[in-house]
Amino acid sequence: MFGYMGKILRVNLTENRITEERLEENIARAFLGGRGLGAKILFDELAPGIDPLSPENKLVVAAGVVTGIPFAGNCRYVIMGKSPLTNIWGETNASGFFGPELRFAGFDAIVFEGKAERPVYLWVHNGEAQLRDASHLWGKVTGETEELIKRELQDDRIRIASIGPGGENLVRYACVLSDFHHANGRTGMGAVMGAKNLKAIAVRGTLKIPLADRDRIAELCKQASKEVWEGAYKDLLHKYGSDGDLDDLHATGRLPTKNFQKCTFEQYENITGETMAETILVRRDPCFACPIACNQVVAAQEPYVVDPAYGGPEYESAAALGSTCMNGDLVAVAKANELCNKYSLDTISTGVTIAFAMECYEKGLLTKADTDGIELTWGNHQAIIQLVEKIAKREGIGDLLAEGVKRAAEKIGRGAEAFAIHIKGQEVPMHEPRGKKGVGLAYATSNRGACHLQAEHDDFFEDPSWLFPEIGLDKTIDRLDMGRDKARMVKILGDFKALYDSLSVCMYASWPEGGVRVQTIKDIVAAATGWDVTLAELMTVGERAFNLCRAFNVREGVSRKDDVLPARLMEPLPEGLYQGQAIPKEQFEQMLDYYYEFRGWDKETGIPTEEKLEELGLGYVTAKLKTSRQSK
């Protein structure tokens, strides 16, 4: 089989046993890799209702069919399992170098099962794998873990994905870090690693990916390199990283501020990408085969010492640890970001959880007696730094906040639930849906809870130059529209994002944010595999993955009742360009009806219909869903 290494590594941590499985071509073509392959494995193998932090959970690490082929944006990989934060589908992806190196080491995916008796790490090298003792690494931060493993294995070119104390202490939104600052951020996969006593995964390889037509691949990689420079946002991304968007979001009144109570931030200029570039930026780091180099690396001495080894804050981190907490100190934002990377904490959930705690403090639901004497006043950057430490170590108030806003609010009670801004248990990312209504629908229906990466921003599709008739995006739609066409757009783009996560490619290098054209990526898949693939077939792969993740969630009890937005995000915006804009419940419910219709899901329940599953080649899923519902 071309295009794949053709092997899945299965690691039984309980039995200290490693086996190899062949990746069958029919599975590879139907799911491509990444999210699709992980969804297939986890739906088939996980029993519904298991505790995500128990040995019964499994962890899938998967690259995509184009990962490691040298064109911009092809470096991503996905880690998946049942989420300890949401108790449903868990998925998180990252860029960098780990994904390509996993393929060069001989495997398309790794499946972890069980729980090791003591801390271990997996070492994968040119088709061979072994579990090694990690007792000496337990308690170490991610950067020190990487350095010690490289020293132990005597190779500085090893790529390592590891957890820090946040993952070890089972913070429910703990993430996984590679190369010090590439984060598999959301849904708590770092906690799943910690629960399994799996400290790290180290990969190194010199194997070549079998390609059906190497000459054609070389031509297409040159073409992609040309196209990436035509991307509308490449200059902005290179100069300022994703934080280059922060000033525009403030200007348009869509910058989450004060725990989503506000949408503009008086101190926004202090934390923009432009300010970062003018003050604390020291360099820009590229990912594998990508010339954009959007990773901003920062350093500072006052008021905090910031280590450049841990990169710098992206937009989500700058807003979550900045405006959402009313923190206008850029160095404090950078320090909090560094600590999240050291300790392996998702910056979005960390920032939103701290903002929740600040609002509880403001309203008298938390006092200094509850917060270990910390003044949780808005904008108190010393408090933010202290809370990041306490959350990672589960010390004092940090033990409560390590549970995430949903569980923390339930424990606090007395109306705290109104301040817990989450969807399906996952804290909402840094995009204000009242100013781009399709994002609101995508948030509510995302398979992993509130997610900005399983959505696309409405603004793009007001401009006819961004349309893509080949996949059904054939008319401009206003960002504030909540009608039938908007629901159709959200459905199409949800499938498209699932395709990207299965391939796996980076949105910053590829259409619509980036310049690499979808047709070029399709041609690369064809030249790599030898398959005569069409764009329609690839979009079906995305739709198949999206529906299989939904089926996973249905078995866990998810239905229409869960496809909702927090009450605060449906209230009128209090200020800014879109002051007064809301997401009225009646209109939202109508939009959800339209969305289910386009998805082929039952409008009453939100469950994929038997006809839709059969159409996608997932007929066997219907029987499993029926069995699951009958058992309840």
For 61, 75, 181, the CA distances from 67, given in Å and listed in that order, are 13, 5, 19
> Residues 300, 280: contact at Cβ < 8 Å?
yes
pLDDT of residue 569 exceeding 80: yes
Q: Is 267 left (phi over 0), alpha (psi -120 to 50) or beta?
A: alpha
For 115-170, the pLDDT digits (tens) are 999 999 999 999 999 999 999 999 999 999 999 999 999 999 999 999 999 999 99
* E strand intervals along 114-223: 120-125, 128-133, 159-162, 176-178, 182-184, 198-204
Sign (positive or negative) of CA dihedral 272, 273, 277, 281: positive
Distance CA 591, CA 560 (A): 13
For 447-488, the pLDDT digits (tens) are 999 999 988 999 999 999 999 999 999 999 999 999 999 999
List of long-range contacts for 212-221, beta carbons under 8 Å, 24+ apart: 212/2, 212/3, 212/527, 212/528, 212/529, 212/530, 213/527, 213/528, 213/530, 216/523, 216/527, 217/69, 217/524, 217/527, 217/528, 220/71, 220/520, 220/523, 220/524, 220/527, 221/69, 221/70, 221/71, 221/524
For tokens 């099962």, the residue is: 113
Taking the CB of residue 265, how many other CB atoms lie within 10 A of it?
A: 23
Distance CA 343, CA 338 (A): 9
> Percent of the chain, pLDDT > 90?
98
pLDDT of residue 631 exceeding 70: no
* Assigned token pair, 269: 């200029």
Q: What is the mean pLDDT of residues 584-599?
A: 98
For 223-255, the pLDDT digits (tens) are 999 999 999 999 999 999 999 999 999 999 999
355, exposed or middle or buried, with CB in 10 Å at 0-12, 13-18, 19+? buried
Taking the CB of residue 283, how many other CB atoms lie within 10 A of it?
A: 12
pLDDT of residue 426 exceeding 70: yes
Q: Where are the alpha helices (DSSP H) in 252-295?
A: 273-279
pLDDT of residue 632 exceeding 80: no
Identify the pLDDT of residue 454.
86
Distance CA 327, CA 382 (A): 10
Residue 630: pLDDT band with limits 50, 70, 90: low
Q: How many CA atoms lie within 13 A of 300 on its CB side?
A: 23
Average pLDDT of every residue of the chain: 97
Q: How far is CA 512 from the centre of its chain?
A: 18
> Residues 621, 548: contact at Cβ < 8 Å?
yes
Identify the pLDDT of residue 455.
83
For 576-586, the pLDDT digits (tens) are 999 999 999 99
220, exposed or middle or buried, with CB in 10 Å at 0-12, 13-18, 19+? buried
Q: What are phi and psi of 281, to 5 degrees?
A: -70, 135
Residue 296: pLDDT band with limits 50, 70, 90: very high
For 199, the 3-state DSSP assignment is strand
